[in-house]
A and B are shown apart, each in its own frame.
Chain A
Amino acid sequence: MRFKRFAAAAVAVVAAAGMSLTFAAPSQAAINYCKVTDLQSSANGMNGLVAAAKKEGVLNVITLPRDWANYGEAMDLFSKAFGIKINDDNPDGSSAYELQTIATATADKQPDVVDIGVSALNSVTGPGRPSIFANYKVQNFADIPAEWKDAGGAWYGDYNGIIAIAYDSSVSPAPKKISDLTNAAYKGQVALGGDPSAAQEAFMSVFAAAIAKGGSVTNIQPGIDFFKTLKQNGNFTSVLANGANYVSGAYKISLSWNFNAPGAIASAKAAGKTLKYVIPSDVALQGTPYIQAINKKAPHCAAARLWEEFIYSENKGKTSDKITAADKKLPGQALFNTILGGQNIFVSGGATPITVKAMTKKGLLIKAPAGLDVPKSAKLVMPSPDNQAAGKSLVTSQWPNL
């Protein structure tokens, strides 16, 4: 009995000694990337960040549809180049879902990075409220316009789009401006991508209609009235504008973000249909940029920071199908410089990257997909977050009685 106890104690002592030895063993000064607020002040730079992110091996993203603003290519390229597995939770989910997940999910299910709407951002930020995001300034931080970033680097806009008219090639005459949609030839053919009080695309479509019909960003009543007219004359159908319903012929014309055009056109083609996009000649309504941020509870701090560097990279470079095995063996900084930057990935998806001005100046902007040029006659407008907040209550009370 006594011997046994002694043996147990001896084992414990040896084990403890072993453990302390491992801790004492000299190792590289490991960087805690959860505390890194920019790459310039961090030792090891991009090489270190890439190495640490590779070691984590996983990135949790949330509500990123593959066919949205070319996110599919962004995820494929990041994943392939850096060998990091991407978990995309609830790809078709909403901004509200992203915030709810941060508020309630267990530690390992927390998203590393989010892409949310401005309304969602405003609901979690404000004076006196603790930030739920980690401060991190990407290398191209200076290229982001001041009104679309937090001075401390808690969040930053990433891309935005313009409301386009998407229509089937069989529609005649082809619609050119929003006010064309009342044409009796479009009976039962005009649809929206959701309820304007829930879907940003539909909400912005109401703004666009308002401006086309003599309203303004502060007066969207004419927009609601426009859809009322469309419903009364039978043009508006309340079927949800999405790929399946379009292919089934349930509608032929919708107001949609230009940055989903390449994906939607390709899917339509696969189903034997020809879908066309045009920016309305009466109003080019720009959405407010979507917002990137790193979650304070991010389980993969290095991968999260590398993702943001990648999203804000202005590089011209290789797409996911061009990456070779040799590329993947390059040191971090060289590999990062080899691949196409996130801002240009948005461009090839039809979106406007937030750093568009700086990129144009530096000559780094790649060519946008054809056919989505903004007509000269179109009034270019962007409703501010305040305009949107004011518009919400009107839509909430009037849309259900359209």
Chain B
Amino acid sequence: MAKPLSNTVDKGAANRGALVSDFTRQLVPILPLLVLIVVFLIWPIVNVAIMAFEDNYGNFTFDNFVVASQGVYAQAFGNSISLGIYSALLASIPGAVFAYIIESRGSEFLKRIINSATSVLANSGGVPLAFMFIAAFGAEGSATVLLKAIGLDIYAGGFTLFSYWGLVLVYCFFQIPIMVLVFSPAVQALRREWTEAARSLGASKWQYWRHVGFPLLFPSFSASFLLLFASAFSAYATARAMTVGTIALVPLMIGTLIDGNVIVDQFNLGKALAIGMVLVTALAMVPYLLIQRRVARWQK
């Protein structure tokens, strides 16, 4: 609760002291977090941003950004953004439905099991995840062989795990659990009383969802969607292990530029691409903030 402004102005010094202690009381507990953010987030970003504007000899230049916005790099941004969007779409909707079903129908025991399982799965990524899929659904994978034995050859129709859509599929494996994990609290917050109240006022199930359920869940849904977008947009190791660079993706190109054996004189181009990724993520925040603002108005 904010104090009325006039109070602090009128009573002068005494209240100013109170204000300071209020300020310190709020700041001190989060100080370690602030230090952490500055050291591990702001400081590296500022450094990367500075180097993105330098050539190999430390002179100021825009060249890195010019190169980063053309040809194969522009294409990489396109692919990474669409990969983020598709994988977020394909994961957020089933994830939200699962979360709702589990929260509304599941027993306590089931909820606990699902909770631990999703926590584990949501954090399975990188090379181990790629390897799991290769071992199961690769050309000689155990699942492939099993399916073939019952007459289902998944490779007959030109499918391959090692393609753009293969990646989208593999990403869903950790994206859906992330969605269940972050969306469940929002579903939990939907009170049974609201359904009952709506019903007693004569609302149909559809009307309840149209006017109460969806609007309440939408902000959380969009926040979760954004999280999924960001995790697929920036995923590196899985894509690297599964494509050896045959699909243009920004994180892979950054890896090639800053940690390769072949190209070793374009670190700063890699940094420009990294700044590009930060910008894309920041831009993706804009619609989210607009939604939040709108929501804040009627949540008062």
Interface positions of A (Cβ within 8 A of B): 93-97, 99-100, 117, 119-120, 122-123, 187-189, 191-192, 194-200, 202-203, 231, 234, 237-240, 244-245, 248-251, 388, 392, 395-397, 399-402
Contact = CB atoms under 8 A, between A and B. Distances in A.
Given A245-B131, A248-B134, A250-B134, A198 B72 contact: no
A305 B261 CA distance: 25
Interface stretch (B135-143, B202-210, B282-290): B135-143
Interface string B72-113: 100110000000000000000000000000000000000000
B140 A120 contact: no
Nearest to B139: A188
A93 B131 CA distance: 20
Contacts of B129: none
B162 A196 contact: no
Nearest to B256: A198
Contacts of B139: 187-189, 237, 249-251
Nearest to B249: A400
Contacts of A96: 258-261, 264, 267
B246 A400 contact: yes
A259 B113 CA distance: 49
A191 B160 CA distance: 14
B222 interface: no
B245 interface: yes
A120 B265 CA distance: 8
Interface residues of B, number: 37
Contact of B259 (A94, A237, A397): A94
A399 B243 CA distance: 11
Given A248-B131, A392-B262, A240 B244 contact: yes
A198 B260 contact: yes
Contacts of A120: 261, 264
Given A119-B261, A248-B131, A249-B141, A238 B72 contact: no
Nearest to B247: A400
B273 interface: no
A191 B139 CA distance: 12
Nearest to A197: B256
B263 A392 contact: yes
A298 to B, nearest CB: 21
B240 interface: yes
B245 A239 contact: no
Given A117-B261, A203-B262, A396-B263, A195 B245 contact: yes
Contacts of A397: 71-72
B262 A199 contact: yes
Given A237-B160, A250-B138, A396-B72, A117 B262 contact: yes
A198 B259 contact: yes
A238 B242 contact: yes
Contact of B134 (A189, A202, A239): A239
Given A197-B256, A198-B245, A397-B71, A95 B261 contact: yes
21 contacts: A93-B259, A94-B259, A95-B261, A95-B264, A96-B260, A117-B261, A119-B264, A123-B264, A195-B260, A198-B261, A198-B262, A239-B244, A240-B241, A244-B131, A245-B131, A245-B241, A250-B135, A250-B138, A251-B139, A388-B262, A392-B263
A176 B140 CA distance: 23
A249 to B, nearest CB: 3
Nearest to A193: B244
Nearest to A187: B139
B261 A123 contact: no
Given A192-B244, A396-B72, A401-B75, 16 more contacts: A96-B267, A97-B259, A119-B265, A188-B155, A195-B252, A197-B263, A199-B261, A237-B160, A239-B138, A240-B240, A240-B242, A248-B134, A248-B140, A248-B141, A388-B262, A400-B245
Contacts of B260: 94-96, 195, 197-199
A200 B262 contact: yes
B261 A248 contact: no
B248 interface: yes
B215 interface: no
Contacts of A231: 246
A238 B162 contact: yes
Nearest to B134: A250
Contacts of B162: 237-239
Interface string B224-256: 000000000000000011111111100011011
